Amino acid sequence: MLIEIATKDARLGMYVHAVEGGWLASPFWRSHLVLSKPSEIAKLVKAGIATITIDTSKGVGPAQAAPPAPPVDDVPAIADRRVASEDAPYSGPERRLRKRGSSELDRARETVERSKEAVSRMFAEVRMGNAVDAADVSPLVDEIAESVARDATAMLKVTRLKNKDEYTYLHSVAVCALMINFARRLNLPEDEVRDLGMAGLLHDIGKMSVPSALLDKPGALEPGERSVVQSHPVKGHQLLSESENISAAVLDVCLHHHERVDGTGYPERLTGEQLSLHARMSAICDVYDAVTSNRPYKRPWSPSEALARMRSWEGHFDPALFAIFIESIGIYPVGGLVRMGDNKLAVILTANDEDPTAPRVRCFYDIPAQAMVPHRDVDTGGGASHRTILRSERGEHWFGDNWSAIHAQVQAGPVDDAAPRRTAVGA
């Protein structure tokens, strides 16, 4: 049973099913967890999360809770130090003062600015013929990973706000952050997460062998020019193969991030079953940041518009992975089906430009009752369970061949008949 409680009332042994603001607002890397340490409760409170949703079928409930955890101010110093070390790459008094004195968005901006400068220097070295050493790149990946762990929403928001002159460098930073966030959503081991962060940072290194005039050309590329641009994965792979301490995952992503699951990508025209998980992840992250960025030849798409269009591209991405990617960034495409915190199914009606993670939805189906209900339009966000999106859902799973007709009916507007109508799951 799902119950929403105030975070301050959390107790050890509770199973956290969701947090106010969605998973990207959570200070933890995983989407669900059992509260087993006082420091975990302290971390939720310090993150400013007012409410959490617990699952009493998987952990203790309010009535059977373990003794209260110590107040945040009374958590032992060792727990406080643990939280501090997990929260940021800074330590000691400097880190604490920094956290009090600036918002997470400001910290994300500082991380992105440092990352942009570092990537710019690294790419300049590559243009001059120097190799890449993973040991030199690792601290940058670690800093981006720490920022994503603190607040992925802030990090992804800042990297999206780039002008066309910054695109080459900030695109690498953004794909690094997206890959880290995606990998953690998939619960991959942390050493693999770091490898994929480095893969995101270095995936376009081969573009340093492509003339800038072609990369920034405002018009359509000629066939010969397109061939030169499309050579960058192979050139990048060659460069990284000659570099120090580069993992197989980094090499794989560099070579295959432009492949498509239907075999129409490049450079090797591999199909889905031939592509690694890492390559399929990178294809999604690379395109998402590219289409939501300001480019010389196109306007940026909004996050919701980008996801809706990407979802419609048959054969481009792994559909199962793409659904998980959507959940990892907490932004859902207009028209998509989602499950709400109160176990209602809803269709995304409109995007929210001010907060892409909080769209307007139309609830229409009660999962426990397996019944259609009168349409109810809801502005998501705010912490209440009926305003919290838990995850995306597949309409065909719930309604079978009837989904297209039901989807059109829900989008068309409220029904006249207020009486619930039963619809079998999978019918």
pLDDT digits (tens, 9 = 90+) for 130-187: 888 888 888 899 999 999 988 888 888 888 777 777 888 899 999 999 999 999 999 9
Q: Please tell me the chain's helix, strand, coil percentages from 3-state DSSP, rounded to the nearest 5.
A: 50, 15, 35
> What does the pLDDT look like over 87-142, one tens digit per residue?
333 333 334 334 433 477 888 888 898 888 889 889 988 988 888 888 888 889 99
C-alpha dihedral sign at 393, 399, 401, 404: negative
Q: How confident is the model at residue 17 (pLDDT cuts 50, 70, 90)?
A: confident
Predicted pLDDT of residue 21:
66
Share above pLDDT 70 across residues of the chain, in percent, rounded to a whole number: 85
**Structural domain 102-328, CATH architecture:** Orthogonal Bundle (1.10)
Predicted pLDDT of residue 60:
85
> What does the pLDDT look like over 264-290, one tens digit per residue?
999 999 999 999 999 999 999 999 999
**Domain boundary assignment for the chain:** 2-82, 102-328, 333-422
Instruction: Please give the angle made by the CA atoms of 103, 106 and 109, to the nearest 5 degrees.
Output: 150
Predicted pLDDT of residue 286:
97
- Alpha-carbon gap, residue 221 to 148, rounded angstroms: 35
Predicted pLDDT of residue 401:
94
Q: What is the mean pLDDT of residues 300-321?
A: 92
- Greater confidence, 293 or 422? 293
> What does the pLDDT look like over 387-416, one tens digit per residue?
889 888 989 999 999 999 999 999 997 644
Mean pLDDT score of the chain: 83
Q: What is the mean pLDDT of residues 284-312?
A: 89
Dihedral of CA atoms 328, 333, 339, 342 in degrees, nearest 10, equals 100
